[in-house]
Amino acid sequence: MSSPSPLPNPSSLVNSLRTSCSTCSMHQLCLPMGLGENDMDKLDQIIGRRRKVPRDSYLYRMDDVFTNLYAVRVGHFKTCQINAGGEQQITGFQMAGELLGMDAISTDHHHCDAIALEDSEVCEIPFARLEELFGTMPTLLRHFHRMMSQEITREQSAMLLLGNMRAEQRLAAFLVNLASRYVARGYSSTNFQLRMSREDIGSYLGLTIESISRLLSKFKKQGLLGVSNREIELLDITALKAMAAGTEACS
């Protein structure tokens, strides 16, 4: 693996090794999915920098001018909107390998705030330069379209959840969804830590913090899961899935 020839600048190599798409554990989920080595290098070259985002700080704010998409490298984010009445709603949680900022393309301004839920790291992708690549990299373009389309689908599911599921179903669906995303990233599907507060979960699910708390207690009592603070252990995923689907026997 290590080249025998002398290296002009070892430290920059180390840096590039640490941060290139090809060595990133998320490259099979993220934007470079399916790219060959050449194409991945080209993509690497336009990526501005890897930016650290401390917990609770903003990656971008609503109405900020849009210049970059961001790929989450490490950590978790939430995106939230504020309506005219001053109420805030969380529109999504993003984890490693997911893309942030696609809603800003239409107006060149961000439509929501993006906030780190823990100390995190993103890759800055200058959209104008990404567009230049599209002309010669159809594989990249195709996958970008898939990611945008996926975002649309994801939000349609959220609409379904908010529009006609009851509280119980919503929380079950939320937990099952988290589990599946962790599995895709090679983590346990049953044991994970909630990175967001109960309030965030409630806001995302259109419920109050009290409802979330009560439901978690209820699920615990029913033996569906274990909870301790933000530590979650899913004990009966089948039942949770059935509940989310609205097909479980009534309790």
Partner DNA sequence: CGCGCTGTTGATGAGGGTCAATTTGGGTGG
Partner DNA sequence: CCACCCAAATTGACCCTCATCAACAGCGCG
Task: Return the one option of DNA, a copy of itself, none that residue 68 interacts with (CB less than 5 to 8 A, by type).
Answer: none
Task: Return the one option of DNA, a copy of itself, none that residue 210 interacts with (CB less than 5 to 8 A, by type).
Answer: DNA
Which helix or strand (DSSP H or E) is residue 44 part of? helix 37-46
Residue 141 as a binder of a copy of itself (CB under 8 A): the answer is yes
Task: Return the one option of a copy of itself, DNA, none that residue 81 interacts with (CB less than 5 to 8 A, by type).
Answer: a copy of itself
Cα–Cα distance, 38 to 69 (Å, whole number): 22
Question: Phi, psi at residue 47, to the nearest 5°?
Answer: -70, 120
Structural tokens at position 227: 């909870």
In the complex, the smallest distance separating the C-beta of residue 135 from a copy of itself, rounded to whole angstroms, is: 6
- CB-CB neighbours of 210 under 10 Å: 10
Task: Return the one option of a copy of itself, DNA, none that residue 145 interacts with (CB less than 5 to 8 A, by type).
Answer: a copy of itself
Choose one: 26-34, 35-43, 108-116, 200-208; the region binding DNA (CB under 7 A): 200-208
DSSP code, position 137: -
Pick from 72, 123, 178, 216 the residue near DNA by CB under 7 A.
Answer: 216
Please report, to the nearest 10 degrees, the dihedral formed by the alpha carbons of residues 93, 99, 102, 108 taken in order. Answer: 110
Pick from 159, 188, 193, 231 the residue near a copy of itself by CB under 8 A.
Answer: 159
In the complex, the smallest distance separating the C-beta of residue 208 from DNA, rounded to whole angstroms, is: 4
Pick from 80, 214, 242, 248 the residue near DNA by CB under 7 A.
Answer: 214
Cα–Cα distance, 62 to 79 (Å, whole number): 10
Beta strands 68-74 and 225-228 are unpaired
